[in-house]
């Protein structure tokens, strides 16, 4: 299926000038958000207790807070709506290990006069486990980026490799900035979304770079702008199909998956948009900014072909006993 004409060449390089400016604004804005207000650590990383409760009618938040404050173990608990007025989330800063009986039963007995409800979820994470999860989450992101850097550096000319890594970091930072902007807790779901985004984004970029490299081999032109525009125009239908498929799937998760999955769906939703846009308007433009010389690259290809022919000729002469 093709949305765009095969013979139509779009001037993506010209549009990329605006794309780079927009990317800088979004990237710097995301870095500022990392500092202030910063990430809100979820229970996975900060440790503590989360209790999710669903009422049959609108939850009486004031009564719930009052009853929780009357018990020493629950003092300082944060009570907030969770997706709807009937559903609430109770957060405790520490794991309630001092409670002798099951915490779900304790909360049920404490709030039994506030209405008809059921406990949907109880998560308890100690501070030591939270620290370990945080370290492993950061390590997973770091190793993923380093592995991709090694692969791309091996496969491509260094300017292409550097451009793809910069575009990848750009996508992850902006998606993480959206997590802060929309006040989503930093949790294992967010880390999983960012790891997924890394794979999605680099795949999009590599496909476009492969097409650019093929176009370079087929065209004798030394005009890099023409080559990039032709390659991007040729892959535009494929990029749009892939991007829209991912976008609508993640949008469905975001709209109908509920609050519990927003830690995954929100960064993926933002990342699917930014990843596709950066593959077209940022990564290829960075290759040009980094000074990729098409004429020198053509000479390098010619030298490689000449050396390959010489090796082949020497091998044939050796096999015939002439060397």
- Residue range 204-214, pLDDT digits in tens: 888 888 888 88
Q: Are residues 162 and 118 in the same domain?
A: no
The residue range of the domain holding 87 is: 48-122
pLDDT for res 2: 54
Alpha carbon dihedral 231, 234, 240, 246, in 10-degree steps, equals -70
Q: Is the Cβ–Cβ distance between 54 and 120 less than 8 Å? A: yes
Q: Which residue has tokens 């405790």?
A: 92
Q: Is residue 321 part of a domain?
A: no
Q: Is residue 164 part of a domain?
A: yes
Residue 118 token pair: 């059921």
- pLDDT given for residue 5 in this prediction: 55
Domain end call among 102, 122, 142: 122
Of the residues 90, 122, 154, which one is the last residue of a structural domain?
Answer: 122
Task: Report the range of poorest mean pLDDT among 4-8, 143-147, 158-162.
Answer: 4-8
Among residues of the chain, what percentage have pLDDT more than 90?
12
pLDDT band at 100 (very low <50, low <70, confident <90, very high): very low
Question: 220: pLDDT confidence band, cut at 50, 70 and 90?
Answer: low
Q: How many domains does the chain have?
A: 2
User: Does one domain contain both 154 and 266?
Assistant: yes
Residue 81 belongs to domain with CATH number: 3.30.70.100
Instruction: Please answer whether residues 90 and 77 qualify as being in contact, where contact means their C-beta atoms are separated by less than 8 angstroms.
Output: yes
DSSP three-state, residue 96: coil
Local confidence band at 221 (pLDDT 50, 70, 90 cut-offs): low
Tell me: do 279 and 152 sit in the same domain.
yes
pLDDT at 272 over 70: yes
Is 188 inside any structural domain?
yes
Count of positions (residues) in the chain = 323
Q: Are residues 118 and 143 in the same domain?
A: no
CATH number at residue 281: 1.20.1640.10
Mean pLDDT, all residues of the chain: 81
- Sorted by sequence, the CB contacts under 8 Å of residue 69 that are 6+ apart come out as 75, 77
Residue 308 within any structural domain of the chain: no
User: Last residue of a domain, which of 56, 91, 122?
Assistant: 122
Residue 305 lies in a domain: no
pLDDT in tens, 162-205: 888 888 899 999 999 999 999 888 888 888 898 888 888 888 88
Query: What pLDDT does 174 receive?
Result: 94
User: So what's the pLDDT on residue 127?
Assistant: 62
**203 and 85, same domain (yes or no):** no
Local confidence band at 6 (pLDDT 50, 70, 90 cut-offs): low
| Sign, Cα dihedral of 127, 130, 136, 137 | negative
Give domain status of residue 139, yes or no. Answer: yes
Alpha carbon 98 to its chain's center:
39
The stretch 306-312 carries a mean pLDDT of: 76
Q: Are residues 21 and 135 in the same domain?
A: yes
22 shares its domain with 148: yes
**Confidence bin at 269 (pLDDT 50/70/90):** very high
pTM, two decimal places: 0.78
Q: Closest Cα to residue 282, out of 21, 31, 29, 30? A: 21
Pair (236, 103) in one structural domain: no
Q: Is 115 found in the same domain as 70?
A: yes
| CA–CA separation, 213 and 228 (whole Å) | 9
d(CA 160, CA 146): 16
User: Which residue's structure tokens are 């989450």?
Assistant: 137
- Residue 99 inside a domain? The answer is yes
Tokens found for residue 105: 């039963």
Say if residues 43 and 125 touch (Cβ distance below 8 Å): yes
Q: Taking residues 122-145, what's their average pLDDT? A: 77
pLDDT tier for residue 262 given thresholds of 50, 70 and 90: confident
Residue linked to tokens 């990029």: 239
Asked if pLDDT for residue 322 goes beyond 70, the answer is no
Residues 101 and 172 in one domain: no
Peptide bond into 37 cis (omega under 30): yes
**Left (φ > 0), alpha (ψ -120 to 50) or beta: where does 321 sit?**
left
Same domain, yes or no, for 20 and 156?
yes
Q: For residues 92 and 136, state if they share a domain.
A: no
């Amino acid at each position: 299926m093709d949305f765009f004409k095969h013979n139509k060449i779009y001037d993506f390089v010209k549009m990329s000038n605006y794309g780079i400016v927009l990317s800088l604004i979004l990237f710097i804005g995301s870095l500022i958000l990392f500092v202030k207000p910063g990430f809100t650590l979820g229970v996975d990383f900060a440790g503590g207790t989360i209790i999710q409760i669903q009422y049959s009618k609108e939850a009486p938040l004031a009564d719930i807070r009052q009853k929780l404050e009357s018990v020493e173990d629950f003092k300082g608990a944060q009570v907030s709506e969770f997706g709807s007025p009937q559903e609430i989330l109770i957060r405790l800063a520490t794991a309630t290990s001092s409670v002798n009986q099951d915490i779900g039963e304790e909360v049920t007995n404490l709030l039994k006069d506030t209405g008809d409800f059921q406990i949907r979820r109880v998560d308890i994470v100690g501070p030591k486990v939270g620290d370990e999860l945080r370290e492993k989450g950061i390590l997973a992101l770091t190793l993923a980026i380093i592995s991709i850097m090694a692969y791309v550096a091996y496969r491509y000319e260094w300017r292409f490799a550097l451009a793809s890594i910069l575009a990848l970091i750009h996508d992850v930072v902006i998606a993480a900035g959206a997590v802060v902007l929309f006040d989503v807790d930093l949790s294992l779901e967010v880390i999983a979304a960012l790891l997924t985004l890394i794979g999605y984004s680099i795949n999009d970029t590599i496909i476009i770079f492969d097409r650019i490299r093929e176009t370079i081999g087929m065209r004798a032109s030394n005009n890099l702008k023409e080559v990039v525009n032709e390659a991007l125009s040729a892959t535009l239908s494929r990029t749009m199909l892939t991007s829209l498929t991912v976008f609508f799937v993640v949008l469905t998760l975001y709209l109908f998956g509920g609050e519990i999955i927003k830690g995954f769906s929100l960064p993926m939703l933002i990342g699917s948009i930014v990843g596709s846009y950066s593959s077209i308007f940022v990564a290829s433009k960075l290759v040009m900014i980094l000074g990729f010389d098409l004429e020198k690259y053509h000479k390098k290809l010619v030298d490689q072909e000449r050396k390959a022919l010489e090796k082949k000729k020497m091998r044939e002469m050796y096999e015939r006993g002439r060397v």
